[in-house]
Amino acid sequence: MPSHESTGAAIQLRPEDNVAVAARRLSKGTPVGLNGRAVEAAETINQGHKLALAHIKRGEPIRKYGQVIGFASADIAPGGWVHVHNVAVEKFERDYAFCSECPPDPKAAEPRFFMGYERPGGRVGTRNYIALVSTVNCSASTCRAVAERFRGDALRDFPNVDGVFAITHKGGCGMQYGGEDHEQLDRTLAGFAKHANVAAYILVGLGCETGQASHVVEGQDLVQILLPGQRPASGDGAKRRPPIVTIQECGGIPKTVEVVTRMVREMLPAVNDVRRTKQPASKIILGTNCGGSDGNSGITANPALGIASDMIVAQDGSSILAETTEVYGAEHLLTRRAKTREIGQKLVDRIKWWEWYTSIFGADINNNPSVGNKEGGLTTIYEKSLGAVAKGGSAPLSAVLRYAEQVSVPGFVFMDTPGLDNVSVTGIVAGGANVVVFTTGRGSCFGCKPTPSIKVATNTPMYKHMIDDMDMNAGDVLEGVSLEQKGREIFDKILAVASGEKTKSELHGVGEEEFAPWPIGPTL
């Protein structure tokens, strides 16, 4: 967590840092004094951007968070603006020091609770949806046509149903049968189908695609869990084959829409009969993500979310950190917290895989900071990553998961995902996250059904400007609110939203278009 010194004008996160972060827009000549160093802004420096606290020679490392975020590509004078025009990314060795700083598991002073939907197998949902799972892009429009029939007042007689939504995507065919892409797509679709926030689902396909519904069902051990009042078929126990509908068998799109619509209507009374009950906070699986980040992300919202993450873990819940390309250059901070060397090595292996994977396409991981990220003050992927890992708090690293792999252990875990927001959160939700907290400095308006997404602004000006989309403001940390207080506020918000409080993205109906499974290999 940042342990900073602030003048109100700028913040130095560690005594050894040779840059400070502007806490507000600094005009040329603004004095900045930190840790015995006194400089003046050599030019106008916007909020979230960096200024040099001493003379930095060309080739010398730029330090922020006490870590290397890049190397000076030109001499930088004291008070000078430090950004892409005078900072370069070079590879450097990281000391992984596996398990060397692994802390004890945090323990809560008192148990906390929320009101959730208890599901078979001990899972607990925070929402109560019916999902229409398209196995291939060819059935996407059909699923959407059915979902549209249940908008507006269509569910007025079913107040306990959060909605009927379509899970659609651009894949499902043109991939190696049984290959890595096929297995990963199956794992993702199954993760949404059996999600604790989904009470019932229907698989809808075309019929001739590579991604057959039967392959998902058999490979992922999918079953349709019985709803209240339903009886299993004779000798079938509590499990039965999930409903599968294909357009070709039904005789075309119109007929399929009618069939699926009828099936949903038959499900609605039983789904509506499910009620919220008091549940321990240990049933929270928190997904964390950041998007549209800025120079304040690693100072305000991300470390505050890290405190909330630790509080979830202290309740014996689970918290997921992801976005492998956005921990690049900071992964050594996580390997030191790994419970075992094997867990730490698994993370390093994924980092090495990403270096190989991007290289075969001629891509550069440092291209990750977007145009908006850079306008917000982030200069390199190392800087972005050091701020991003703060979302993971300080708890020990308990597991490293594949994309969309189910979270099966309590504690702080890492999931291998791309940094792209919708693709990353899709994997996190498929892994079981029943609440997501999404931090943003530029103003990302994100949602991902069936899981509510709490947006936390990193700075007050953006929060006020986009108040209709932001759920919380962490910008007041720059104004004196402690990270600990903000972390507790986020934790309390997580429990409130888990109990049914609607997020801004839910109120706007955002979250259906954002389903985006990660395709790894070639399209055939």
Same domain, 251 and 170: yes
Q: Which two tokens stand for residue 192?
A: 């949404």
Could you read off the pLDDT of 251-265 as tens digits, one per residue? 999 999 999 999 999
Do 300 and 346 belong together in one domain? Answer: yes
| Phi, psi of 242, deg, nearest 5 | -65, 150
Q: Which of 522, 471, 517, 509 is nearest to 164 (CA)?
A: 509
Distance between CA atoms of residues 344 and 458, nearest Å: 30
The answer to whether residues 54 and 153 belong to one domain is: no
Burial class of residue 310, CB neighbours in 10 A (0-12, 13-18, 19+): buried
Contacts of 11 by beta carbon, 8 Å cutoff, 6+ apart: 2, 4, 5, 20, 21, 23, 299, 478
Is the domain of 197 the same as that of 64?
Answer: no
User: What would the mean pLDDT of 296-315 be, rounded to a whole number?
Assistant: 97
Tell me, yes or no, whether 120 lies in a domain: no
What pLDDT does 224 receive?
A: 77
Q: Kindly write down the DSSP assignment for every residue of 230-290, as one continuous string.
A: --PPTT-TT--PPPEEEHHHHTSHHHHHHHHHHHHHHHHHHHHT---EEEEGGG-EEEEEE
pLDDT at position 364 is 86
Q: What is the pLDDT of residues 168-189, one digit of tens each?
A: 999 999 999 999 999 999 999 9
Please check whether residues 318 and 456 belong to one and the same domain.
yes
Nearest to 282 by CA among 319, 237, 328, 244: 319
Element spanning 117, H or E: strand 113-118
CATH classification at residue 11: 2.30.130.110
Quick check: pTM over 0.85?
Answer: yes
- Token pair for residue 273? 């009969």
> Does 168 fall in a domain?
yes
Residue 157 sits in a domain whose CATH number is 3.40.1400
Binned at pLDDT 50, 70 and 90, residue 334 comes out as very high
Residue 469, classed as helix, strand or coil, is coil
Q: b or e along 455-492 (b: 16 or more beta carbons within 10 Å of the residue's beta carbon)?
A: bbbbbbebbeebeebbbbbbbbbbeebebeebbebbbe
CB 486 within 8 A of CB 302: no
Once rounded to an integer, what is the mean pLDDT over residues 154-170? 97
Residue closest to 83 by CA, chosen among 60, 62, 58:
62
Q: Are residues 256 and 294 in the same domain?
A: no
Among residues 388, 415, 400, the alpha carbon closest in space to that of 327 is found at 388
Question: What pLDDT sits at residue 227?
Answer: 60
* H helices, E strands: number in the chain: 14, 24
pLDDT at 238: 46
| Averaged pLDDT for residues 386-400 | 97
Which tens digit of pLDDT belongs to each residue from 463-477? Answer: 999 999 999 999 999
The answer on 262 and 291 residing in a single domain is: no
180 belongs to a structural domain? yes
Number of structural domains found in the chain:
3
Spatial contact of 293 and 388, defined as CB atoms under 8 Å apart? yes
- Are 231 and 295 contained in the same domain? no
| φ, ψ dihedrals at 138, nearest 5° | -65, -20
Give the pairing of strands 318-321 and 411-415.
parallel
517 part of a folded domain? no
Q: Quote the domain boundaries for residue 149.
A: 129-273
263 and 304 part of one domain: no
Of the three residues 37, 70, 88, the one that is the final residue of a domain is 88
Which pLDDT belongs to residue 34? Answer: 87
Residue 105 lies in a domain: no
**What's the residue count for the chain?**
524
Cα distance between residue 479 and residue 461, in whole Å:
12
Residue 101 resides in a domain: no
Could you write out the DSSP letters of every residue in 183-241? Answer: HHHHHHHHHHHT-TTEEEEEEEE-SSSSS-HHHHHHHTT---PPPTT--PPTT-TT--P
Examine the pLDDT at 237 and tell me if it is beyond 50.
Answer: no
Do residues 351 and 455 both lie within one domain? yes
Nearest to 126 by CA among 422, 501, 415: 501
246, 273, 300 — which closes off a domain? Answer: 273
For residue 256, give the amino acid letter: T
**Which pLDDT score, from 0 to 100, does residue 36 have?**
81
Specify whether the CB–CB gap between 126 and 435 falls below 8 A. Answer: yes
Q: Give CA–CA dist 94/332, Å, rounded.
A: 6
Q: Which amino acid is at 449?
A: K
- What does the pLDDT read at residue 230? 59
**Residue 377 domain-assigned (yes or no):** yes
Among the residues of 431-518, which ranges form H helices?
Answer: 460-465, 483-498, 504-507
Q: Which one of 273, 306, 324 terminates a domain? A: 273
* 521 falls within a domain: no
**Whether residues 236 and 325 fall in one domain:** no
Residues 489 and 428 grouped into a single domain: yes
